[in-house]
Structure 1
Amino acid sequence: MSGNREQFRPEDHPNDHFLLTTVVGSYPKPKWLDRSKDLLEDDDADFGEDEWTEAKDDAARLITEEHERAGLDVVVDGEMRRNEMVEFFAHRIDGYEFNGPVKVWGHNYFDKPSVVDEVSYDESWLVDEYEFTADVADHPVKVPITGPYTLANWSFNEAYDDEESLAYDLADLVNEEIEKLVDAGARYIQIDEPALATTPDDHAIVGECLERIAAGIPDDVRIGLHVCYGDYSRIYPEILEFPVDEFDLELANGDYDQLSVFEDPEFTADLALGVVDAHVAEVESVEEIEANIRKGLEVVPPEQLTVSPDCGVKLLPREVAYGKMANLVEAARNVEADLDSGDIDVSAPTPADD
């Protein structure tokens, strides 16, 4: 169990129990931000890089405040400055280049980058973004970073003998970036590794990447790992060896069919439980979300439970995304109150004293 989560408890928190509430990362962009991008690419429009930067700043400020209005304990800016989770970072890492979009499924295209030379770290990827958000926010800010395994797996490798060695070099770069974020004040970092669940046999590679990422990072910095879309039984309990404080898992979308995977052996890390479905454009009721949170208490005790959506919610209508966040927070506070009053019998194992 992590000892660094208490720093995120608000001073005016209404209950004795504390279920940390946060989001995975992405959030629907305001329509006008997409229009601004169109203007930037229109040679006839009086709209340049300065105006584009102002538009992204405005969107980041707006969505950060929207997360705070929903009552989330830890917020992000909704990734307003990011286009796609691999492409954004590949543009900032020396050794990558782009050769045009690749068809990935149906009529969807992805600007899949190629690694054409040894990857290296040039300038910070996220410090400016973090400092802006932290300045705007009254609440603590989480920083999502696409993990090195996914950055390697979702790229063309034209420079390394194998994907594994590429992933390790990228992990060293991520470590360098996190050190800069920590120096800037960040205390909550989330590594996104969606590729792990689709290639679960590589969990040992991901583990080594995380060892490199966490090297030298202070204990008071919370590191989470977000994994989605997969058969968790193929990576559990091996993932418990990873040097992370929290596992952020998509379970609502599968109606918690995989929850029992984490009951034996005992889940020793913190669990960030997806309690609203990022793929359904309907707002779950507070009562539904309360029931989902209680499912998490079958696996871990309250002091190890974080409450969040399944995944990023960028594909939802904005009013639906906000409704899910607001109901998620209300449900978490209700469950805390029920825990305080003894109305919930916690069946999860009580953690041993550190």
Structure 2
Amino acid sequence: MKIVATSAGSYPRIGDRPEQQRHRQAYARLERCEITTEEFEKIQDEITQEVIEEQIKAGLDLVTDGQVRWYDPISHLARAINGCRINGLLRFFDTNFYFRQPVIEGKLSRRGAVLRREFSFAKKVSKKPVKPVLTGPYTLAKLSIDRSGLGLQKIVRNFAEIIAAEVKDLKEEGAEIIQVDEPAILKHPEEFELFSEAVEIIAGEKGSSYLALYTYFGDVAPLYEKMLELPIDVIGLDFTYSPRLPQVIEEQGCDKDIGLGFIDGRNTKLERPEELLEKLQQMLPSLKGDTVYINPSCGLGDYLPREIAFQKLKVVAAVAEGMRRMI
């Protein structure tokens, strides 16, 4: 069994130190037309490389681009979709973070690739493998307003086809593992069949890449058995919302590769690696996949100060190293 220390998505692009304020300052200058879009993009490239290097310094084996270019998990993708306009701010689940809500006004279609260039750049500047992360079609649909009359089923399918095209692009760019985030299904388990159909559409384009499906911000234990039946390679789970999940996994086992989100991505309190390793040791005999990913429960960029995020990733690396010694 291989143990991999990784991120679950975003990483803070702004920190407390003056040199870590560049993104905020550059965005303000862009708004005032003091710099061009190309100049702003170059600054985002520099910050992307910087946050990748911080993840590597923290001890991660598999990094993300930190989603530095993302305004939020929803509108970053929705802005590039025909039939969709971006509306006002709405709270992202039960967090203190807000996203710009899409309004669906007609059939959805992709204007062009969104993540291909972002992943290509991150891969070029990283000394470690890079995992692209994108929001899944069901969550995009559930957090949008339907003014089109298409209905939820068609909107989910439209989004699924668009995300599948993104996944195909990433596969062609050489992504070994692609993460799709679907937190919304935990709030609407009665719609699992619709959700499952969307996952199948995406899985059809993954090719030889590993498809990782991550959920968070809800109790996944009631859906765990169904999640294992999905055509995915990695199942990523948030344990901070699911107190019964370790017991469920011990009872039912896991034949897939699994992402263990024991490190709380929303709480500044730093976990003690030895305490987490005790919990993991109990579950270890039930994990039958080839790879276990140790990661935070969710992306860190929208919820934690940069220094705390860095320390959280050091905990991730310490737990991964401790787990390697167990097996």
- Given the two structures, how large is their TM-score scaled by the length of structure 2? 0.91
Instruction: For 1:39 and 1:164, locate their aligned partners in 2 and report how far apart those are by CA, in whole Å.
Output: 41
Paired with 1:74 and 1:107, the residues of 2 have a C-alpha distance of 28
Task: Work out whether residues 90 and 98 of structure 2, in 8 Å CA contact, stay in contact via their aligned partners in 1.
Answer: yes
Gaps of 5+ in 1: 1-16, 340-354
Letter in 2 for 1:293: L
**Larger % of helix: which?**
2
C-alpha contact (below 8 Å) 1:273/1:296 kept by paired residues: no
1:275-314 aligned within 5 A = 275-297=262-284, 299-301=286-288, 303-314=290-301
**Equivalent-residue separation in structure 1 for 2:205 and 2:269 (angstroms):** 43
Taking every aligned residue pair, what percent have the same amino acid on both sides? 28
Separation in 2, partners of 1:198, 1:276: 21
2:107 pairs, out of 118, 128, 133, with 118
Q: Cα 1:331–1:263, aligned 2, differ >3 Å: closer, same or farther? A: closer
Letter in 1 for 2:77: F
> Which residue does 2:244 correspond to in 1?
257
Classify 1:101/1:319 alpha carbon distance in 2 versus 1 (closer, same or farther; 3 Å): closer
Q: Structure 2 CA distance, aligned partners of 1:109 and 1:232? A: 23
Shift of 1:106: 9.8
Q: CA RMSD in A?
A: 2.1
Residue number in structure 1 paired with 2:44: 56
Q: Secondary structure at the match of 2:76?
A: helix
Pairing partner for 2:234 from 241, 246, 252: 246
* 2-structure distance, mates of 1:99, 1:162: 19
Tell me which residue corresponds to 1:342. none
SS of 1:175's equivalent in the other structure is: helix
Aligned residue for 2:32?
42
Check if 1:20 corresponds to 2:4: yes
Equivalent residue, structure 2, for 1:127: 116
Q: Which residue of 2 aligns with 1:350?
A: none
Task: Give 1:285 shift.
Answer: 2.8
Deviation digits for residues 159-217 of structure 1, max 9, x if unmatched?
A: 24321111012111111111111111112111111111111111111111011111143
Q: 1:34 to 1:159 in 2, by over 3 A?
A: same
C-alpha change, 1:57 and 1:266, in structure 2 (3 Å) is same
Aligned length: 319
Which residue does the alignment assign to 1:269?
Answer: 256
**Superposed, which structure 2 residues align to 1:48-87 within 5 Å?**
48-87=36-75
Q: Is the 8 A contact 2:103 2:146 kept in 1?
A: yes
Q: From the CA coordinates, give the structure whose radius of gyration is larger.
A: 1
Counterpart Cα distance in 2 of 1:292 and 1:47: 51
8 A contact 2:221–2:242 mirrored in 1: no
Would you say 1:167 and 2:151 are equivalent positions? no
Secondary structure of the structure 2 residue equivalent to 1:212: helix
- In 2, the alpha carbon distance for the partners of 1:106 and 1:303 equals 33
Describe the shift of the 1:289–1:120 C-alpha distance in structure 2 as closer, same or farther (beyond 3 A). Answer: same
Q: How does 1:120-269 map to 2 (within 5 A)?
A: 120-218=109-207, 220-251=208-239, 253-254=240-241, 256-269=243-256
How far has the Cα of 1:110 moved from its partner? Answer: 3.5
Deviations 1:50-96 (A, max 9, x none): 22112111110000111111221111111101010111000011111
Inter-CA distance 108–319: structure 2 relative to 1 (3 Å threshold): closer
| Alignment-mate amino acid for residue 132 of structure 1 | F
Give, as a single letter, the amino acid of the residue that structure 2 aligns with 1:33: H
Q: Report the alpha carbon displacement of residue 38 of structure 1 after superposing the two structures with TM.
A: 1.7
Tell me the CA shift for residue 133 of structure 1. 0.2
The residue matched to 1:94 in structure 2 has which SS?
Answer: strand
Distance 1:77 1:39 in 2: 23
Give the drift of 1:301.
4.2
Stretch moving more, 107-116 or 197-206:
107-116
Equivalent position SS for 1:151: helix
- The residue type paired with residue 224 of structure 2 is Y
- What amino acid maps onto 2:9 in structure 1? G
Q: Tell me the SS of whatever aligns to 1:111.
A: strand
Q: Distance in 2 between matches of 1:245 and 1:158?
A: 35
Equivalent residue number for residue 96 of structure 1: 84
